[in-house]
Structure 1
Amino acid sequence: MNNIIKYGSVEAIPLYNCSAHTPEEWSELNGYKRPIAGIIDMTYGILMNIVYIPILAVMLEEEHFKMSCFKVMTFLGIVDMLALWVNSIITGFLAYQGAVYCSYPNLIYISGMAGFGLWCCSCIIAMSLVINRILDLSKESLCKLIFDGAKTYGVLTLPVIYGMYFVIFTTPIAFSSKHLTWFFNPLIFPNMTHEYTNLPHGFNNLFVVAFTCLMYASFCCVVLEKVQEIEGPTKNNALSKQIFFQSALICAVNQTASVIYVIMNFIEVPLWLIMLGHMLWQTGHGAPVFIYLGLNRTIRNGVLRRLGVKTSVPVSPTV
């Protein structure tokens, strides 16, 4: 965004100057129409956003939203929905059209800034959520000190600031229908890759996501310890498997997508690996829908109740 302010418009930024050809010529030269993939991406993004609506409605219910973890989860859900607009709905439209950066420079530049910022923001929100859960189970007084009441909103300003840093001060990602994903290099000028290098992106993907995964492992240990204290060592096998499966799944998706995106911006990799990285990025923002409905009894019952499928049953909130 700082370059838009500096040069006055997207088209005026030297490294993003598309004046050599018309948008149609750029699409013809470097684009590749992918109608089936485009329709699949758009359908996925729209469906995930639709399903997210009743989930967020349940989270916003007074009895739930008063809990700090539900505030964090609600914010994460909103960020996920916005990110799905970029990595699925807009991506699907561009893939269907066979677009490259210079086909829709303004749309892609602004979407690239937003999508990148939302991904980095979601990484810190996920970190905040797991810290909240660990402290709530092991250090309740410290959890209240940091997250109690309106303090949660103060904590949530940190991922917003973090995400805005990437939006304002770093290189945005740009779409290519040929590779069906987003690169930092808009592929305008040949042999120009290092000029678009985004080192903060590497830091976020390799260290922030990895650190979050380590905290998920700590969370598993804390939960299992609590369960063992309450129910005894012979009764927690099923729950332990569920906890480890959920945490391992989240970490595997996010970490694999993160590593692939770092690698593919520096070296040439097979198309299937690029597409896998993009699918995992989409999954990272859509997976919470399945996790909440499949593994969170409070949210699942709340959604079913709102849909009129299941009558309300008193349930202790579980996250």
Structure 2
Amino acid sequence: MNNIFKYGSVSRIPLYNCSAHTPEEWSQRDGVRRPLYGIADMIYGLTFNMLYIPILSVLFEKENIKMSCFKIMIFLASVDMLALWVNSITTGFLAYQGAVFCTYPNLIYVTGMAGLGLWCCSCIIAMILVMNRLLDLSKSTLSTLIFEGNRTYLVMSFTILYGLYFVVFTPPIAFSSKYHTWFFDPLIFVNRTDEYANIPHGVNNFLVVGITCLLYVSFCLVLGKKLEQASNSGSSKSNKMSTQIFIQSAMICAINQVASIVYVIMNFIDVPFWLIIVGHSFWLFGHGAPAIIYLCLNKTIRNGILKKIGLRKSVAAVVTRDTNSGAFTKTN
């Protein structure tokens, strides 16, 4: 975005100047119409955006939003819904049209900025969700210090600023129907790919992989100790909710890891088309999968939705916090 302010418009940015041909000529020259891919992407994005609506309605319920983990999940779901408008719905429209960057330079530049920022933001939110569950199990005092009450919103404001950094100060991704994905190189000029390199994005993706792996190992060690203590005391219910939500966040991070690695590789190395499609699919799945994970594995969300549609009777719920583990439990 800083280049738009610097040069006055997208078309005036030297590396994004499309004046050599008309938009139609650029499409005919470099584009490939992919109607099936396009329709599939648009259906996917619209479907999962609709799935998120009842999930958010449950997360926003008074007894749920008290818990820091659900506050974080609300932020993650909101970011995912916005991201799906870029990587699914807009991508589907562009693929159907057989568009390249210079077909719709303003649209692709702006959505490319948004898609990049939302991706990096969601990576950090997913890791914070894992960290929140880990601290609840191992360092309840520190968890309270960081996430108690409205402090969770302060933590989430950092993730927003983090995403905005990529929007404002780093090169955006640009769509090409030829490869059915978004590259940093808009493919306007030959042999100038290195000039579009986004090093902060690569650092983000490798940090996602490295830090998440460390969190997995740490959680396994902590959970092992907690389960041993619980078995000795004859009670393991207090850790059940933290374990369930950790499994959900771990699955989300695992999907993000695959997308992270593939996207870094394909922006610097020529890879086969099938691998590009795999990377793009995991990017889509990374923003859509949480909806399925929550519906299948999160009992609170699933039961809340069933109650709203009248398939389950409402029962008064009581939320308690275990003094030893710091984990929240919800009883009906």
Q: Normalised by the shorter chain, which TM-score bucket?
A: over 0.9
Residues 1:274 and 2:276 are matched in the alignment: yes
Kept after mapping to 2: 8 A contact 1:59/1:299: yes
Q: State the partner residue of 1:126.
A: 126
Paired with 1:235 and 1:255, the residues of 2 have a C-alpha distance of 34
One-letter amino acid of the structure 2 residue matched with residue 18 of structure 1: C
Q: CA deviation at 1:27?
A: 0.6
Q: For residues 299 and 88 of structure 1, do their structure 2 counterparts lie closer, same or farther at Cα, with a shift above 3 Å needed?
A: same
Paired positions, count: 317
Q: State the partner residue of 1:101.
A: 101
Kept after mapping to 2: 8 A contact 1:34/1:97: yes
Normalised by the length of structure 1, the TM-score is 0.93
Paired with 2:65 and 2:243, the residues of 1 have a C-alpha distance of 28
Residues 1:174 and 2:170 are matched in the alignment: no
Secondary structure of the residue that 1:11 maps to in structure 2?
Answer: helix
Q: Deviations over 1:171-192 (max 9, x none)?
A: 1000000100000000001111
Q: State the partner residue of 1:150.
A: 150
Deviates more, 1:248-257 or 1:178-187: 248-257
One-letter amino acid of the structure 2 residue matched with residue 204 of structure 1: N
Q: State the partner residue of 1:20.
A: 20
Q: CA deviation at 1:256?
A: 1.3
Kept after mapping to 1: 8 A contact 2:205/2:260: yes
Q: Deviations over 1:57-96 (max 9, x none)?
A: 1011110101111111101110010001101010011001
Paired with 2:166 and 2:109, the residues of 1 have a C-alpha distance of 13
Unmatched runs of 5 consecutive residues or more in structure 2: 320-327
Q: For residues 295 and 224 of structure 1, do their structure 2 counterparts lie closer, same or farther at Cα, with a shift above 3 Å needed?
A: farther
Deviates more, 1:96-105 or 1:243-252: 243-252
Kept after mapping to 2: 8 A contact 1:121/1:160: yes
Kept after mapping to 2: 8 A contact 1:11/1:17: yes
For 1:171-210, list aligned pairs within 5 A.
Answer: 171-210=171-210
Q: What is the CA RMSD across the aligned residues, in angstroms?
A: 2.3
Identity of aligned residues (%): 64
Residues 1:296 and 2:298 are matched in the alignment: yes
Residues 1:283 and 2:285 are matched in the alignment: yes
Q: State the partner residue of 1:163.
A: 163
Kept after mapping to 1: 8 A contact 2:245/2:298: no
Paired with 1:234 and 1:142, the residues of 2 have a C-alpha distance of 26
Q: For residues 297 and 232 of structure 1, do their structure 2 counterparts lie closer, same or farther at Cα, with a shift above 3 Å needed?
A: farther
Normalised by the length of structure 2, the TM-score is 0.89
Paired with 1:110 and 1:246, the residues of 2 have a C-alpha distance of 32
Q: For residues 277 and 222 of structure 1, do their structure 2 counterparts lie closer, same or farther at Cα, with a shift above 3 Å needed?
A: same
Paired with 1:202 and 1:119, the residues of 2 have a C-alpha distance of 12
Q: Deviations over 1:11-56 (max 9, x none)?
A: 1111000111111111111000000110110000001000000101
Paired with 2:64 and 2:82, the residues of 1 have a C-alpha distance of 23
